[in-house]
């Protein structure tokens, strides 16, 4: 990989993946692409406006920028996707198809596509969920993630297009806000706690879900991108794990640093959370490309509090 486009590059993960990749490959060699134009476009350059549903525009962007790899992050996440399933289908499935076709036609060396714990469903074993198990999600987002996992395998076996990805748990970070997922509470809650404001949590206090701190999320996808192809049995369906906690457990950990009030008012997102695992078995990722996380809940909370205090000027 020498010249990379990051689609959805202005989002929660792109905002941290892009600086990491630019550090590694050079600023000019990592192009941020998004459907929205940032106000500070000069700081973000090279930047292109790109709708991933437009295959011709993707092909032009690849050719004009002499690109050989893509990180395809553009997506509608689980909660937003249930508010507008048609948009989620359009962006997540038609957009992915356009990216894969563009990659096939231009001969890209590699495409990285994150999947999610949303690929699982109510019938999946909830604890220590195996890598290869029942995939019957009930959200449009989850359906799009299973589709992506299957298409990655298909394009590899049929065309030799090297498409890889991890099933991210909920990602926690302090630089950019999350984009409309079921796990967003685990980021929002820090802002309320540090400002001394009461937080109303949209999940039940015992809704345990797998989570990961952003540095581990960046480490995982870039490690997999660099892994020797001959070591990989799986493609875009790697379970990865770091920590699991409930809102109540997260509140207790944050209260070690700052006291704040919380009430629980579960909404439609609780049903989504109920269909996802509590914890993940990531032994395939450990075996095939040496995955291991650096952060647990305690070290994540400590780092979040330190960085967010600085960011908020507290």
Q: Which residues bind ligand NAD (CB under 6 A)?
A: 7-8, 10-14, 34-36, 50-53, 73-75, 77, 91, 95, 114, 116, 168, 170-171, 178-181, 183
How far apart CA 241 and CA 283 sit, in angstroms, is 9
Active-site entry in 141, 155, 168, 185:
141
Is the CB of 7 or the CB of 124 nearer to ligand NAD? Answer: 7
CA distance 241 to 16: 19
Over the window 139 to 168, marking each residue x when it contacts ligand SER by CB under 6 A and - when it does not, the resulting string is: --x--------------------------x
**Among ligand NAD, ligand SER, none, what does residue 187 contact (CB within 5–8 Å per kind)?**
none
Nearer to ligand NAD among residue 34 and residue 282 (C-beta): 34
Residue closer to ligand NAD by CB (options 112, 284) is 112
Other C-beta atoms within 10 Å of 298: how many?
Answer: 11
**12 near ligand SER, rule: CB under 6 A:** no
What sign does the dihedral 81-84-89-91 (CA atoms) show?
Answer: negative
Which residue's beta carbon is nearest to the bound ligand SER? 181
Looking at the Cβ atoms of 175 and 195, the one nearer to ligand NAD is 175
Task: Give Cβ neighbours of residue 205 (< 8 Å, ≥ 6 apart).
Answer: 246, 247, 248, 251, 264
Q: Which does 182 bind (CB under 5 to 8 A by kind): ligand SER, ligand NAD, none?
A: ligand SER
By beta-carbon proximity to ligand SER, the closer residue of 121 and 181 is: 181
> Is residue 121 at the binding interface for ligand SER, with CB under 6 A as the rule?
no
Position among 78, 124, 131, 173 found at the interface with ligand SER (CB under 6 A): 78
Write out the two tokens for 171: 């990602």
Does the annotation count 141 as an active-site position? Answer: yes
Considering the rule CB under 6 A, would residue 170 count as an interface residue with ligand SER? yes
Task: In angstroms, give the least distance from the CB of 168 to ligand SER.
Answer: 6
Residue 181 within binding range of ligand SER, rule CB under 6 A: yes
Binding-residue total with ligand SER (CB under 6 A): 11
Binding-site partner at residue 11 among ligand NAD, ligand SER, none, CB < 5 to 8 Å by type:
ligand NAD
Indicate the residue among 103 and 137 with the shorter CB distance to ligand SER. Answer: 137
Q: Which of 93, 118, 201, 212 binds ligand SER (CB under 6 A)?
A: 118
- Nearest-angstrom CA–CA distance, 57 and 68: 16
Kindly state whether residue 239 participates in binding ligand SER, applying the rule CB under 6 A: no
Catalytic sites, residue numbers: 141
Interface residues with ligand SER (CB under 6 A) are: 77-78, 116-118, 141, 168, 170, 181-183
């Amino acid at each position: 990989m020498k010249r990379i486009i990051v689609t959805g590059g202005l989002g929660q993960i792109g905002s941290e993946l892009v600086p990491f990749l630019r550090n590694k490959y050079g600023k000019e060699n990592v192009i941020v692409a998004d459907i929205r134009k940032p106000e500070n476009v000069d700081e973000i350059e090279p930047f292109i406006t790109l709708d991933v549903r437009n295959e011709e525009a993707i092909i032009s962007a690849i050719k004009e920028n002499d690109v050989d790899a893509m990180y395809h992050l553009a997506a509608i996440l689980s909660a937003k996707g249930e508010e507008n399933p048609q948009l989620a289908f359009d962006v997540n499935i038609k957009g992915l198809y356009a990216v894969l076709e563009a990659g096939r036609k231009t001969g890209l060396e590699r495409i990285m596509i994150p999947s999610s714990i949303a690929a699982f469903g109510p019938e999946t074993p909830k604890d220590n969920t195996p890598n290869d198990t029942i995939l019957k999600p009930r959200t449009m987002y989850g359906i799009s993630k299973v589709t992506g996992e299957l298409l990655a395998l298909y394009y590899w076996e049929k065309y030799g297009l090297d498409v890889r990805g991890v099933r991210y748990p909920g990602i926690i970070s302090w630089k950019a806000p999350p984009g409309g997922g079921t796990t967003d509470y685990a980021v929002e809650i820090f802002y309320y706690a540090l400002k001394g404001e009461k937080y109303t949590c949209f999940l039940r206090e015992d809704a345990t879900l797998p989570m990961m701190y952003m540095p581990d999320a960046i480490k995982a996808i870039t490690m997999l991108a660099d892994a020797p192809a001959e070591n990989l049995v799986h493609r875009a369906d790697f379970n990865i794990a770091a920590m699991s906690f409930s809102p109540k457990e997260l509140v207790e950990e944050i209260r070690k640093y700052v006291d704040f009030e919380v009430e629980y008012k579960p909404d439609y997102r609780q049903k989504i959370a109920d269909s996802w695992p509590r914890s993940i078995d990531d032994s395939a990722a450990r075996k095939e490309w040496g995955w291991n996380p650096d952060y647990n809940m305690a070290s994540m909370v400590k780092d979040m509090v330190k960085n967010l205090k600085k960011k908020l000027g507290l």
